[in-house]
């Protein structure tokens, strides 16, 4: 049997997510957005268009919400609950505050409606080709209800834990994402001061990250506790630390020579070892 899915919010990522659903023979899709053009595109792809959130909610068992912020999510949920029936599941794809999913679930539960928070990672490209990572928080029952739709849109669907866990996992992931972006700007300033080609630096970074896995390459342990000396990871991360402290020291020396401010590099030199679970070398 196909799943009756509604999708609200057809923006840069929501639209390609909905197009993936429209292409699935296992989904009956209804969509809604305040902008007419993406709705028309989804209709051409085989979806039905609803005239309002309430009209969509009346025709769907699983309702995906990908709107801008917490306030819009609350407004949409309020309209859904005005017409919803027992057994519906609302899937919040928007990245919201860590406490918001629990509040939404409490409100919806009084109407017999289940909520999962299911933010995504992978951007518009991942949404278009169905390779998103989707991080889900919610009960086992709610996750099971949402899963058929989620697996159409993402190639990695992980049940992170109870309601709110998906959002917290996304926030942890994006903390690394944007700190890394900031570190990239620091590296660019250093390279520019050294007279290097920043476009070529970007090519090298993307090429090598595709091979090594980038920052995710160190993320295999199930804990951040200090590593015992007889642990397999002690030797592996010891090698990472030795290389990191050497190269960071050289980079900071070059920055000092070129009068470039590199505060993240200095912080990394102090914190890399403890962060890995190892003591830093005496400096």
Give the DSSP letter of residue 214: G
CB contact at 8 A, 160 and 139 = no
Return d(Cα 130, Cα 258) in angstroms, integer. Answer: 45
168 is catalytic: no
What are the angstrom distances between the C-alpha of 78 and each of 19, 53, 84, 203? 25, 10, 10, 47
List 59, 168, 170, 246, catalytic entry: 170
CB contact at 8 A, 65 and 88 = no
Return d(Cα 136, Cα 117) in angstroms, integer. Answer: 6
Beta bridge partners of 4: 28
Question: Angle at which helices 165-193 and 198-212 pack, to 10 degrees?
Answer: 140
Give the DSSP letter of residue 216: G
Beta bridge partners of 161: 137
Return d(Cα 114, Cα 141) in angstroms, integer. Answer: 9
Catalytic site positions: 170
């Amino acid at each position: 049997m196909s799943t009756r899915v509604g999708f609200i919010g057809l923006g840069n990522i929501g639209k390609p997510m909905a197009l993936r659903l429209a292409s699935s023979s296992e989904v009956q899709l209804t969509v809604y957005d305040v902008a007419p053009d993406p709705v028309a595109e989804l209709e051409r792809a085989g979806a039905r268009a609803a005239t309002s959130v309430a009209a969509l909610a009346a025709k769907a068992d699983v309702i995906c919400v990908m709107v801008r912020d917490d306030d819009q999510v609350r407004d949409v949920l309020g309209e859904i609950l005005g017409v919803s029936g027992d057994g519906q599941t609302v899937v919040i794809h928007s990245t919201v505050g860590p406490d918001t999913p629990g509040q939404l679930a409490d409100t919806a539960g009084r109407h017999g409606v289940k909520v999962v928070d299911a933010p995504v990672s992978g951007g518009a490209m991942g949404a278009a080709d169905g390779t998103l990572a989707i991080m889900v928080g919610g009960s086992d029952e709610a996750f099971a209800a949402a899963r058929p739709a989620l697996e159409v849109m993402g190639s990695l669907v992980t049940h992170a834990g109870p309601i709110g866990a998906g959002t917290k996992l996304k926030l942890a992931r994006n903390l690394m994402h944007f700190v890394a972006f900031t570190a990239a700007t620091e590296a660019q300033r250093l390279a520019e001061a050294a007279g290097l080609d920043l476009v070529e630096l970007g090519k090298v970074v993307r090429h090598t990250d595709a091979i090594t896995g980038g920052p995710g390459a160190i993320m295999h342990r199930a804990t951040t506790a200090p590593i015992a000396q007889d642990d397999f990871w002690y030797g592996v991360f010891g090698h990472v630390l030795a290389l990191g402290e050497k190269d960071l020291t050289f980079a900071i020396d070059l920055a000092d020579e070129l009068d470039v401010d590199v505060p993240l590099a200095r912080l990394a030199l102090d914190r890399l070892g403890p962060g890995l679970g190892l003591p830093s070398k005496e400096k």
